[in-house]
Chains A and B, each alone.
Chain A
Amino acid sequence: MLRLHKVTVTAEHSKPIVHDVSLSLEKSELHVLLGPNAAGKSTLLNAIAGTPFYKVISGKILFENEDITYTSPFERAIKGIFLAYQNPPEIRGVTLRLFLQHLSRKYGFKGDIYQLLEDYGFTKEHLSREINVGFSGGERKRLELLQAEIINPKLLLLDEPDSGIDVDSLKLIADKINKFIYRGRSILLVTHRRHILEYLNKIHVAYVMISGRIVYSGEPHSVFKVVEEKGYKYFKYLA
């Protein structure tokens, strides 16, 4: 489904942040990318989603065997790649109602939007509010995943959906991640905390990224143990 081949990424006018990353993710798989702050995890997700300001300077990104390295972000979204932002922006003037209407129309969503709002801990009143304006950390993260329900992407890139939220939101988000996988979606999850991992049913592969390089990939549980006991600094020697 998703293949990265020696991908190196820069963010606007900077030195490369991500170096030579290769990975491969199949249908219905959940991969977790761990690493300390500023390791380049978000940069990698943004490069896969095609966010402007992030440039792949070498290597290739293949999605369903198609080279998407240089396609626009909206084309990638239409193909089925969804990025849940770590810090989704406030969009003043655009109400949630208008935004969700546009999304529903674009992706032919036939479900019950009110039920969906309820499932994600929102009320009808939220519809009249502007996107993310005055939303709590938990609300912002939940709204990201709620959009994925409407868009129904094949691949979800989740950038720290567990940061800055309370335990109820954390459980809800973990539960939804499990359901996405159960429904055959693929997920690349970025986090630097262990907590969310306890609520996830099955993690297929874990990676550790240090200074823009993947220094470990493989069986998740032993990695979590090492991270827990020795911290990321242990991996620095591998980098």
Chain B
Amino acid sequence: MKWSEKVKELAKRTLNKLPAYGPPIDVGKFRITSKIKSIQELLENPEVLKRMLSVGIDVKGAYRTGTFLQFDEKIIKTLTGVSCVKILSLEEAKERFGEEWLEKYYWRALSVETDMFTAFVELYGKGGYVIVVERNCKVKKPVQACLYLATESFLQTPHNIIVVEDGAELNLITGCTVGVHKGAHLGVSEFYVGKNAKLTFTMIHSWGPIVDVRPRSGAIVDEGGVFISNYISLRPVSTVQMFPSVILKGEKASATFNTLIYGTGKSFYDLGAKAILRAAKTSAQISSKVVASGSSTIISRGLIVAEAENVKGHYECRGLMLSNKSSISTIPELKTKVKNAELTHEAAIGRININELAYLMSRGFTEEEAIAMVVKGFLEPEVPGLPYTLKAAIKRFTEIAAKGL
């Protein structure tokens, strides 16, 4: 049986498998047909452009190697003519690269049997991008991908595959946002980082208070490869649950996960990262900074597994509580199967220190201003690989977020 047929079979068997974490979603309640009449119309709508810009997607911006936009399931791509970078839709990639390529890169960094959501995307998924950066190709300007929910109650189900070949480098920004109230997003992403290659992947979410989100992603990093994954979500959402994983399979490969969350309203986040240190001298760092306001719930998980000699792993979580109705949980898990692994974790969660507030107030700031300053300083990301425009956007974002306490 061909691999592509086999995964379909596996998916059918997995369709009822509940996710390991987070509440299930009744996918039957959502639409899977889009009502979009014209993408051009959407692209001319200043409100849509503004929303995209708020998640780092600059449609008119010149400083991009390429752009992939998916509105519901409809796709538009632009490329700036860098021949060693290919941006395709998943359908195009399947057709162009064929079964041999699928054998190698389709459901290999992430199992289709993970849960009902991976299975659903395999069986009914629509859209998704494939980005291939060829051997030794280093693109400075980022590639951007936007996944936009444009139809009320739409269920978006893309499957993305990113291949950064040996010695290549890519900075990929994905922004996910909505123009409607209700919806759900099940996005599968697979990352393959070749020998001495580097991938910086930044995902920015700006959903809405009745949008449910279940990204599923996995990465495999080869010898000397570097994988950096940044996740930022500062606006309200209904529920987000994800537990991306990375397998460091080549010596000296490294992975970093940075997470920045501002939980507002009734937002529920269950976020984690899993790093498997399979080869010697590999290292992983999982850090998250979370702020819980309103009646939000934030769960931060970190799992690091040492399977080879001389590996290092560190998980840390810093949490700031702004309300008595919200909650933060931090769940580190370190496992080692070898003697000389160095695995550590640290976490600190609590309220803003009252003495700090009193100090700022003694300088003429109101209590609200003082809280905003501390929150803004706390959230201001020092994540590497972000382009200037995005840093500015995040800065504006944190300011707005900090004011809306």
Q: A and B: real partners?
A: yes
Contacts of B63 in A (CB 8 A): none
Q: Which of A35-43, A95-103, A182-190, A196-204 contacts B (4 or more CB under 8 A)?
A: A95-103
Contacts of B373 in A (CB 8 A): 94, 98-99, 102
CB-based contact A74/B361 at 8 Å: yes
Indicate whether A106 reaches chain B with its CB closer than 8 angstroms: yes
Indicate whether A239 reaches chain B with its CB closer than 8 angstroms: no
Convert A85-110 into 0s and 1s, putting 1 for each residue whose CB lies closer than 8 angstroms to a CB of B. 10011011111001100110011000
Considering residues A52, A53, A88, which has the most beta carbons from chain B within 10 angstroms of its beta carbon?
A52
Indicate whether A137 reaches chain B with its CB closer than 8 angstroms: no
Residue A77 contacts which of B362, B367, B378 (CB distance < 8 angstroms)? B362
Considering residues B356, B361, B362, B374, which has the most beta carbons from chain A within 10 angstroms of its beta carbon?
B362
Indicate whether B28 reaches chain A with its CB closer than 8 angstroms: no
Contacts of A130 in B (CB 8 A): 377
Convert B349-389 into 0s and 1s, putting 1 for each residue whose CB lies closer than 8 angstroms to a CB of A. 00001111011111111110000011011111000000000
Q: Given contacts A78-B364, A102-B373, is CB(A91)–CB(B358) below 8 Å?
A: no
CB-based contact B364/A151 at 8 Å: yes
CB-based contact B363/A103 at 8 Å: yes
- Count residues of chain B with CB under 8 A from any CB of chain A: 21
9 inter-chain pairs at a CB distance below 8 angstroms, sorted by A residue, are A73-B362, A77-B361, A78-B364, A82-B362, A88-B359, A91-B360, A92-B377, A93-B379, A94-B373
Indicate whether A147 reaches chain B with its CB closer than 8 angstroms: yes
The answer for the CA separation of A102 and B361 in the assembled complex, in Å, is 12
> Residues of B with Cβ closer than 8 Å to A?
353-356, 358-367, 373-374, 376-380
Q: Given contacts A89-B353, A89-B355, is CB(A51)–CB(B362) below 8 Å?
A: yes
The answer for the CA separation of A3 and B151 in the assembled complex, in Å, is 67
Convert A191-231 into 0s and 1s, putting 1 for each residue whose CB lies closer than 8 angstroms to a CB of B. 00000000000000000000000000000000000000000
Min CB gap B219→A, angstroms = 29
CB nearest neighbor in A for B379: A93
Indicate whether A72 reaches chain B with its CB closer than 8 angstroms: yes
Which residues of chain A in 62-83 are interfacial with respect to chain B, using CB atoms and an 8 Å cutoff? 72-74, 77-78, 82-83
CB-based contact A93/B380 at 8 Å: yes
Which residues of chain A in 26-58 are interfacial with respect to chain B, using CB atoms and an 8 Å cutoff? 49-53
CB-based contact B364/A89 at 8 Å: no
Contacts of B354 in A (CB 8 A): 52
Closest 6 A-B residue pairs measured CB to CB? Answer: A93-B377, A77-B364, A94-B377, A93-B378, A73-B361, A74-B361
Min CB gap B287→A, angstroms = 14
CB nearest neighbor in A for B355: A89
The answer for the CA separation of A92 and B354 in the assembled complex, in Å, is 13
Q: Given contacts A51-B358, A89-B353, is CB(A102)–CB(B377) below 8 Å?
A: no
Q: Given contacts A52-B354, A93-B378, A98-B373, is CB(A106)–CB(B359) below 8 Å?
A: no
Residue A74 contacts which of B364, B374, B376 (CB distance < 8 angstroms)? B364
CB-based contact A89/B359 at 8 Å: yes
Contacts of B358 in A (CB 8 A): 51-53, 73
Min CB gap A111→B, angstroms = 17
Min CB gap B147→A, angstroms = 31
CB-based contact A74/B359 at 8 Å: no
CB nearest neighbor in B for A106: B364
The answer for the CA separation of A51 and B363 in the assembled complex, in Å, is 11
Min CB gap B73→A, angstroms = 41
CB-based contact B365/A94 at 8 Å: no
Which residues of chain A in 148-168 are interfacial with respect to chain B, using CB atoms and an 8 Å cutoff? 151
Residue A91 contacts which of B359, B361, B379 (CB distance < 8 angstroms)? B359
The answer for the CA separation of A85 and B363 in the assembled complex, in Å, is 11
Which residues of chain A in 106-120 are interfacial with respect to chain B, using CB atoms and an 8 Å cutoff? 106-107
Contacts of B374 in A (CB 8 A): 91, 93-94
Contacts of A103 in B (CB 8 A): 363-364
The answer for the CA separation of A51 and B362 in the assembled complex, in Å, is 7
CB nearest neighbor in B for A85: B359
CB-based contact B363/A147 at 8 Å: yes
Residue B376 contacts which of A49, A72, A98 (CB distance < 8 angstroms)? A98
Min CB gap B269→A, angstroms = 20
Considering residues B361, B363, B380, which has the most beta carbons from chain A within 10 angstroms of its beta carbon?
B363
The answer for the CA separation of A235 and B347 in the assembled complex, in Å, is 50
The answer for the CA separation of A74 and B364 in the assembled complex, in Å, is 4
Contacts of B380 in A (CB 8 A): 93, 98
The answer for the CA separation of A190 and B359 in the assembled complex, in Å, is 18
Min CB gap B377→A, angstroms = 4
The answer for the CA separation of A151 and B360 in the assembled complex, in Å, is 13
Contacts of B360 in A (CB 8 A): 91
Residue A98 contacts which of B361, B363, B364, B377 (CB distance < 8 angstroms)? B377
Contacts of B361 in A (CB 8 A): 52, 72-74, 77
The answer for the CA separation of A95 and B380 in the assembled complex, in Å, is 10
CB-based contact B362/A49 at 8 Å: yes
CB-based contact B365/A102 at 8 Å: yes
CB-based contact B362/A106 at 8 Å: no
Contacts of A74 in B (CB 8 A): 361-367
The answer for the CA separation of A207 and B262 in the assembled complex, in Å, is 50
The answer for the CA separation of A151 and B365 in the assembled complex, in Å, is 12
The answer for the CA separation of A130 and B378 in the assembled complex, in Å, is 10
Considering residues B361, B364, B379, which has the most beta carbons from chain A within 10 angstroms of its beta carbon?
B364
Min CB gap A47→B, angstroms = 12
